[in-house]
Structure 1
């Protein structure tokens, strides 16, 4: 075997060795690297044969090896040996084995549950189960608002591999806009987006099936619910509405949101690696708890009839809007609260969500004389037997007030003043009562403060402090001008007389039924005495005269005594502060018309307040609001089976059914929930004539403005 190493020289050194001591710079002195010498690679390229090239390569490699060995020797013996290497390797392997063993013991013996949980968290998730919102029902168990289970179609855009194809499939199966959906799918960094909300679960399943067939992942469904009103817009202002997330935003849905809202539950589901749920792998978690159900005092039949009659009247009279309240004066239970309004663009009259019975204030006119007269009687400023000399005109301060029609100075008892709705007689009593006394009476009857119901947007009306009144303020407020009240305040005030002087707060919720079946009756509100029983009985008698032979005599019901009062008030013009809206004579005025009362007067079981805002064709409380009061009274008497209190009169065993125009002993039957189109009735043709008015939401005159008031009587043209 040929030795590749060249022989050493005589001096023991190899050829080419410089004799320079080996050191750290030895590498820089390697042969072939000196200036002017050719490198091995250059030599190989100039070689003539392959053998010569190989020999040159081998010689170069040997020289480099010798140079490296010489350098290592010059640096001394190595600091480690092969045995040290072996021991180090064994130690490292042993340590790693110990670590693996410890980890295995920890995973399998010490804390296996922790690692099972970590694994489960990668494939198992908790889904929220929304608690079903409670149902709102009328007093007879008819559903007014309930929730149905639906789903939301959602997407994780980061998981969608083909946004264009996905947008095409979803848009083709739903009403989702294709371009808007694609924009959501390609939004950078987005991990969540709604595709469609409140979908039918069957429709959502079909969409997911199409996506799965196309091998598109990232789409899911989540449980949700939708609030529906089986009766349509019936009582919508009272029941209220919810937003798309199921939270109450108006009416009872808002103020009772905490009771109605259910408690969410949880469901355990397993996910595949692509994020889709594994079928039949769901496990029960904590169940959702439905919210409480509310049973209202409202009666769907009477509510439907109130809205139907009110829409017909507003439409027929050319009015702007209208409010009707029907209830039981003994308990304060509201049986119907109707709010209708004319659409300015379409001219169509329909129920509205604006709860004007609570949120709108009006100058109500002569219906407010009840408070003035009752206050004078309660404080001993007059008595039932007193006779007053009542002129046609009366000057108060710098204004002259008058009754509606001229009459010579009459000798009238106080009940005559009420029956004839005399402005002058009422102002004379108010002057005896004084400003502080009238304010006290008004506040005792509930004016100037909101009701205990606390519905959203409810107002307390406008009643200024009496210490700032002028003499004309006292006179105007006494006859229902210069003070703004809400329809619910009027309804509650007339109930004071019906309840022999006790104020009974209105009620809307009869009971609450919890998800466990527990029933909680709503506690009645705090009652308080306003006037003495004998004063209430005398006022009851005076109000009966209004219907028997006064301003509302055309609205008698055979067999029943009715205690009521009509009211007509001029509306203030917000632009100039006066009651004149432009034009000559009565054409320059706009009115609020009211009819409020209860029946049977001997045993009050039904109380009704009707208000029409700005009627055009009939402009007095008797002619504009009276027909609605009469129709609702007949419907209520039939439906509630209230017996007559004048059985000796002819025809008292029958009450005209307003819906059919026929006489019947049968009660009004339940009407279908969807609201019928307004239709004219044969009952109580509305008569033209007389001054009247209808108030608009939020209208209120400033104290000190003298205006017109009364149905058959009115203030003179005092708009200073």
Structure 2
């Protein structure tokens, strides 16, 4: 009877034990939650009180973006303001491969219609790089697979395309790929006249630095100073309005104005190319200088090189780099020295044979002739080597060297153009028995076309050498224009009366070529030259034919020099002379120069 009574007590004990276990578990769970809560509170307190400022700074730093504001490189213009080279706004498009790989296109709904992505109005069926490439490739004009390959790499930076126009950049922005694709501003250098002045203008490298030609010569002035903006960006890479903390405006480079007249340059190049073809010449060079200012109006050669191209960056203008013996043009310098030193007058009489022997050396004229009765002016007109040597009997080596130097032989032009060669003039004490005489008629030393032009301009400018210039002025970002003073000083080389007599004799030279090289309505003073130069084999198998003219002779405005390499016809008067006359005719018309009066004061050339 007692056992049945004991079972309820056991049940009660079991129930009590279970209840106790539940309470204990609850307590432990509560303690665990409390502990976690304490840890969270402690972490919150630590972050808020001790690391909050540091973390906030890190977060701000991660959102802060500094963008470079690229300065535009200055323009290069001709003397009339015609643009020859300029920089235009362009963008380099950058991709973030990691972000592209995680990209998920936004479907178009009423709420997302302003920033969703579709192709031809249809939803994208892809994501990641494939989707980005499908959106971006048509805008950039790139192949989808090529673009996808670039975005499939590692990292957060890859250049997708350079020199993108602002129009294309706006189309990219409309794709709403902020944080995945963005553009950084840059500048592209454009040359609007193709091969005109190609190597003379030169080019810039990938960083926009001038590396050849005028671009290199005036790089410091043309180069601007970049600016910057610092602001915060959102998760999509977009600028957060009102968060700009610092900025500095870009300062564009200065514009450089040349003395070159684009229209004259173009016309001279066309005439020169036609002459090269007509005479089967290897190349041609032409220079036009304004006598009154020393400014170069045209500096041309027949090399057709695209301005800004790799070829333009690796080469220099033949017009400044090519040097050669001027040939009989050098007789102008000799005659000037003889007159200046009082050794002769232009009317002095000489009986000139076809050949002459001096110290075992034979010298001869270009054409065989009998003994001729020429004045010193006649010797210049007939371009007689023999007569020039005879007239220089008392003209010492020191004086020969002195006047060559005074006329700029072996001296830099002062333009400082990249690649310019000053030629060669050895000291007189290094001349051998033959060279001391060949220098009298333009052999035994070398010059470039600029130097020849400058030397002849001494005669045109009444005996005064003016510094040449090719840079007219600069204009800064604020619009202030500064005239550039030519390098060098004005210097008297010979007396005005001497220059007048040499000019007179040069006009007689020109009259001898009137069938080939006349300028209708204008008197011309000129001198031709022909000289042997080394050919491809290194031997004297090539010829330079040149011609330098003062137009008009009665009131000099321009000196025009032309040189041709290996032309058919050889002699400068019949090859380079007509080219000079064509250029002169154009100059007279363009600048509306009044016609010349008849000549009445010619110095006799025969007796």
State the TM-score, normalizing by the size of structure 2: 0.80
Partner of 1:123: 63
Partner of 1:484: 446
The reply to whether residue 537 of structure 1 matches residue 500 of structure 2 is yes
Q: Alignment partner of 2:91: what SS?
A: strand
* Residues 648/364 of structure 1: CA separation in 2 closer, same or farther (3 Å cut): closer
The reply to whether residue 144 of structure 1 matches residue 84 of structure 2 is yes
Question: For residues 41 and 89 of structure 2, what CA distance do their matches in structure 1 show?
Answer: 62
Report the CA distance between 1:95 and its aligned residue. Answer: 9.9
Deviation per residue, 1:153-207 (Å, 9 max, x gap): 122334331456555655554355666655544555x543321111112223434
Question: For residues 176 and 282 of structure 2, what CA distance do their matches in structure 1 show?
Answer: 53
Q: Alignment partner of 1:405: what SS?
A: coil
Partner of 1:628: 579
Question: For residues 523 and 342 of structure 1, what CA distance do their matches in structure 2 show?
Answer: 31
Picking from 554, 559, 574, the partner of 1:607 is 559
Question: For residues 39 and 229 of structure 2, what CA distance do their matches in structure 1 show?
Answer: 48
Q: Alignment partner of 2:585: what SS?
A: helix
Picking from 595, 614, 638, the partner of 2:547 is 595
Does structure 2 retain, via aligned residues, the 8 Å contact 1:154–1:192? Answer: yes
Report the CA distance between 1:321 and its aligned residue. Answer: 0.9
Does structure 2 retain, via aligned residues, the 8 Å contact 1:608–1:633? Answer: yes
* Residues 93/222 of structure 1: CA separation in 2 closer, same or farther (3 Å cut): closer
Report the CA distance between 1:235 and its aligned residue. Answer: 2.2
Q: Where do 1:291-690 residues align within 5 Å? A: 291-341=253-303, 354-525=316-487, 526-548=489-511, 550-551=512-513, 554-573=516-535, 575=537, 577=539, 579-580=540-541, 590-616=542-568, 618-646=569-597
Larger CA deviation: 600-609 vs 242-251: 242-251
Larger Rg: 1
Larger CA deviation: 423-432 vs 115-124: 115-124
Question: For residues 279 and 44 of structure 2, what CA distance do their matches in structure 1 show?
Answer: 97
Question: For residues 342 and 145 of structure 2, what CA distance do their matches in structure 1 show?
Answer: 78
Question: For residues 57 and 598 of structure 2, what CA distance do their matches in structure 1 show?
Answer: 81
Larger CA deviation: 152-161 vs 514-523: 152-161
Partner of 1:206: 171
Question: For residues 93 and 516 of structure 1, what CA distance do their matches in structure 2 show?
Answer: 61
Deviation per residue, 1:566-591 (Å, 9 max, x gap): 111122246354x24xxxxxxxxx31
Question: For residues 473 and 451 of structure 2, what CA distance do their matches in structure 1 show?
Answer: 23
Q: Alignment partner of 1:310: what SS?
A: helix
* Residues 576/118 of structure 1: CA separation in 2 closer, same or farther (3 Å cut): closer
Picking from 174, 179, 184, the partner of 2:140 is 174
Partner of 1:55: none
Deviation per residue, 1:74-102 (Å, 9 max, x gap): xxxxxxxxxxxxxxxxx999999996775
Question: For residues 533 and 424 of structure 1, what CA distance do their matches in structure 2 show?
Answer: 27
Question: For residues 344 and 195 of structure 2, what CA distance do their matches in structure 1 show?
Answer: 48
* Residues 93/518 of structure 1: CA separation in 2 closer, same or farther (3 Å cut): closer
Report the CA distance between 1:398 and its aligned residue. Answer: 4.1
The reply to whether residue 155 of structure 1 matches residue 117 of structure 2 is no
Does structure 1 retain, via aligned residues, the 8 Å contact 2:473–2:481? Answer: yes
Question: For residues 566 and 481 of structure 1, what CA distance do their matches in structure 2 show?
Answer: 14
| Ranges in structure 1 where 5+ consecutive residues have no aligned partner | 1-90, 108-113, 344-349, 581-589, 650-720
Question: For residues 534 and 214 of structure 2, what CA distance do their matches in structure 1 show?
Answer: 32
Deviation per residue, 1:496-516 (Å, 9 max, x gap): 111111111111111111111
Question: For residues 516 and 600 of structure 1, what CA distance do their matches in structure 2 show?
Answer: 41
Question: For residues 172 and 279 of structure 1, what CA distance do their matches in structure 2 show?
Answer: 30
Q: Aligned residue pairs: how many?
A: 530
Deviation per residue, 1:526-555 (Å, 9 max, x gap): 11121122211111111111012x345642
Question: For residues 436 and 517 of structure 2, what CA distance do their matches in structure 1 show?
Answer: 31
Q: Alignment partner of 2:394: what SS?
A: helix
* Residues 427/551 of structure 1: CA separation in 2 closer, same or farther (3 Å cut): farther
| Ranges in structure 2 where 5+ consecutive residues have no aligned partner | 1-37, 102-127, 306-311, 601-607
Question: For residues 44 and 224 of structure 2, what CA distance do their matches in structure 1 show?
Answer: 56
* Residues 338/272 of structure 1: CA separation in 2 closer, same or farther (3 Å cut): same
Does structure 1 retain, via aligned residues, the 8 Å contact 2:290–2:557? Answer: yes
RMSD: 3.2
Partner of 1:678: none
Question: For residues 93 and 328 of structure 1, what CA distance do their matches in structure 2 show?
Answer: 87
Picking from 146, 159, 170, the partner of 1:194 is 159
Q: Where do 1:242-253 residues align within 5 Å? A: 242-253=204-215
Partner of 1:133: 73
Deviation per residue, 1:105-163 (Å, 9 max, x gap): x95xxxxxx98765433223121111111111111111111111111112233433145
Report the CA distance between 1:354 and its aligned residue. Answer: 3.6
* Residues 201/425 of structure 1: CA separation in 2 closer, same or farther (3 Å cut): same
Does structure 1 retain, via aligned residues, the 8 Å contact 2:518–2:578? Answer: no
The reply to whether residue 271 of structure 1 matches residue 233 of structure 2 is yes
Question: For residues 369 and 215 of structure 2, what CA distance do their matches in structure 1 show?
Answer: 54
Report the CA distance between 1:613 and its aligned residue. Answer: 1.4
Q: Where do 1:55-134 residues align within 5 Å? A: 103=50, 107=53, 118-134=58-74
Question: For residues 335 and 261 of structure 1, what CA distance do their matches in structure 2 show?
Answer: 25
* Residues 418/120 of structure 1: CA separation in 2 closer, same or farther (3 Å cut): same
Does structure 2 retain, via aligned residues, the 8 Å contact 1:566–1:621? Answer: yes
State the TM-score, normalizing by the size of structure 1: 0.68
Question: For residues 221 and 500 of structure 1, what CA distance do their matches in structure 2 show?
Answer: 60
Question: For residues 628 and 380 of structure 1, what CA distance do their matches in structure 2 show?
Answer: 36
Deviation per residue, 1:426-471 (Å, 9 max, x gap): 2223443233322221111111122211111111112222211111
Deviation per residue, 1:250-291 (Å, 9 max, x gap): 111111111111221223443222545568977883221211
Does structure 2 retain, via aligned residues, the 8 Å contact 1:598–1:608? Answer: yes
